[in-house]
Structure formats: C-alpha cells, structure tokens
Structure 1
C-alpha cells in the first residue's frame, strides 16, 4: 500500500488540490464515471501550440530564416491564436471546475467547482446535478463549505473518512443514485422514492446544511 502523501497544512493550494482529488475518488466509489473532456480540450490546444513552435524551430534551424520566413509568419499567427483560445478556455469555460461526470446506470450528471479565498482555510464547493425524469431535465444546485482542518490533520496528512462523511452529507443526492430509478404507475419514482410530477420539476438551492426547495422553470 502506498504511503499517504504529506502536505503543508498551511498551504491553501496544497489543501485545495488534495481535496479536489478526493472529490473525484469519492464519486468513483458511488458509480460515477468522470469525464475528462475539459482536460482533453486543454491538452489538445497546448499540444498543438507546442508542435507549431517545435516545427518552426526545426525548419528555421535546418532551412534558414529566408526560406522559412513565410511559414514562420503563419506559424506565429497560429501559435498566438491557440494560446489566446487556451487562455479563454481556462478562465471562462474550465474555470474552477474540478469534476464533470455521469452516473454509470442512472440518467444523472454532476458538475463540481471548488474555490478558496486568501487567508481563509475553508473549502467551498458548488455542485450542480442534472437528472432526467420522465423526459424532463431537473437541475439541483448547492453551495457547501467546510474547514480543511476537519479532514487534514495537524501533521499534513489527509484523513479520508471525515472528508467523505462531510461530502456525503453535503450532497445527499449522490446516495439517491445508488439504485437505478424505476418507473411508477402514479407520479414519478426516483432513486430516493416516489415524487409527484410537480415535485419532480423543482430546483433545490441551498448552502451548507440548510437548503431550500422552490418551484422553478423546467430546465
């Protein structure tokens, strides 16, 4: 068994990165399959930019600047375009998203983003769940937070059980998807039991332990 990784308990980036990795590991045990589409786009843009830069260097080194100056011009334009696209992707699309995944058996998808603020050892998550019920999409959004020291000990070791307990309590919807939802003769039956059609088209918004369910538009 691999030795647990020790981190600096006073480094917010280390605390956040360790907790981000633990989120994906926890959801994997709950039959969720992570999608790496965001990372794939980032790697594709980065790889393309590196290939252009490498090709330009090789041709300039072997053929000389005069023979390759036209190619170099277009290569510079392409490189600048790719880097601009990568910057836009990181800041406006991928942003703080740490997890995108779908349940392996239920029609449920989850998007989770995380953040920390300077000098505040609090882990904050924004969790969005989309579920298809009777051909309609239901979206539930929740903001939760918890202190890092609840699952990182004073020596800098990550403690799995309290983290998973906190995360499971923060996202009770996850447990609903342990069993595949079944159709019901009346109303709509979900993994958490039977709901009326009116309840199934609501949006739950909450923060921390408390949450409020209110009726909203169908998504």
Structure 2
C-alpha cells in the first residue's frame, strides 16, 4: 500500500482517512461484504429532493411565474421537508456509521454475521473513537460492542503520513476481541 499523507490539522481528512482504512482492513482481511442500505436510503431521499426541485424549475420555465405559483410553493415546501427528513436520518439513524458489512457463510449452513462500524472525531479534538458492533445472526443472539478511543497522533507522524501498520494492528485487535474465530 502506498503511503497516505494528509493535512494533520484537518479533522475531516483525519476521520475520513481512518474510516476508509478501517473499511479496507475489514473487507480485505476478513472478507466481509459491504451492505450499502444506509447509503441507498440517504441517496433516495436526496434524489427525491432534487427531483422535486428540478420539477419546479422545469414547470416554472414552461409556465411563467403567476401560473406556476402553487407548484413552486408545493415543490419548495416538499424540498425543505425532505431536507429535514435527511437531517433527522443522518443524525438519528446513521449516527456516524461508515460501514455495515456481512459475513456470509459460503456453504449456507451458518447464519449471516453482521458488523457495524461507526466513528467519531469531535471538532478541535484529537481523540478518534471507533465502535464495532457485531451480531452473529443466530436466533436470540445479542449484539456485542467494543469501542477504541485513541489520539490520532498514535497513527500519524509529524508530516501527516498515516502509520498504516499501527492502525491496522489496532483495528485487527479490536475486531478479534469482538468476533470469535468460529464466527469467521
């Protein structure tokens, strides 16, 4: 893997880089299959909002303002309502989740295990918190959860290069403490 260099003072870049590397480690090392359902729902809400705005634009172009007044009002109201729904969805449902992945048994005998990974890096803070939730998929099984909180300085050097091996080792250790060998 080629070295990753970022601006170490950019919190969003730090979080996104660590999230992407964690996703890569879990998918490559453990063979998880990523589930895009959360992202698909968000994209559906966004598409509906943009379609509503585009309809208002086209309708206003075809029928000038006085005739399109009610359509513009209803489309604008619907757009802002959908943006409110999107905000609630990202804050209440997604909650920082960047990976939902499944471990499917190739023989089809064992149930499908599911891992959900979320992270948090607050503004002007150096503590990156990553949370793994794992469910074996067995009937009545409880979801197990483990969290790791550490300074981003332990994974980046002075120049902003990611110390990938150190981060990968921490992700693997966190994963292995949560998921047993027989579940893999």
Offset, 1:5: 4.1
Please state whether the residue corresponding to 1:126 is helix, strand or coil. Answer: strand
Aligned to 1:11: 10
Q: Which whole-Å deviations, capped at 9, do the CAs of 1:172-205 have from their partners, x for residues lacking one? A: 156635xxxxxxxxxxxx448xxxxxxxxxxxxx
Question: 1:56: which partner in 2?
Answer: 56
Aligned to 1:195: none
Distance 1:54 1:162, change over 3 A: same
The number of residues matched between the two structures is 178
User: Taking structure 1 as the reference length, what is the TM-score of the superposition?
Assistant: 0.73
Q: Match for residue 99 of structure 1?
A: 99
Q: 1:38 to 1:132 in 2, by over 3 A?
A: closer
Distance 1:31 1:174 in 2: 16
1:117–1:139 Cα change, 3 Å: same
CA distance in 2 between counterparts of 1:166 and 1:76 reads 47
* Larger Rg computed on CA atoms: 1
- Could you say which structure has the higher strand fraction? 1
Q: Work out which of the residue numbers 137, 155, 164 in structure 2 matches 1:132.
A: 137
Matched residue SS, 2:7: coil
CA distance in 1, matches of 2:161, 2:167: 12
In structure 1, the gaps of 5 or more residues are: 178-189, 193-219
> 1:116-166, CA deviations, whole angstroms, 9 ceiling, x for partnerless residues?
234432211121111134x33232111212222222222112232111101
Q: Distance in 1 between matches of 2:104 and 2:159?
A: 37
- Determine if contact 1:168/1:174 at 8 Å carries over to the other structure: no
Give the Cα separation in 1 of the matches to 2:63 and 2:92. 40
Of residues 25-34 and 136-145 in structure 1, the stretch that sits farther from structure 2 once superposed is 136-145
Give the alignment partner of residue 167 of structure 1, picking from 143, 163, 171.
171
**1:111 has 2:110 as partner:** no
Superposed CA RMSD in Å reads: 2.1
Q: Which moved more, 1:122-131 or 1:101-110?
A: 101-110
- Corresponding residue for residue 176 of structure 1: 180
Q: Distance in 2 between matches of 1:88 and 1:122?
A: 25
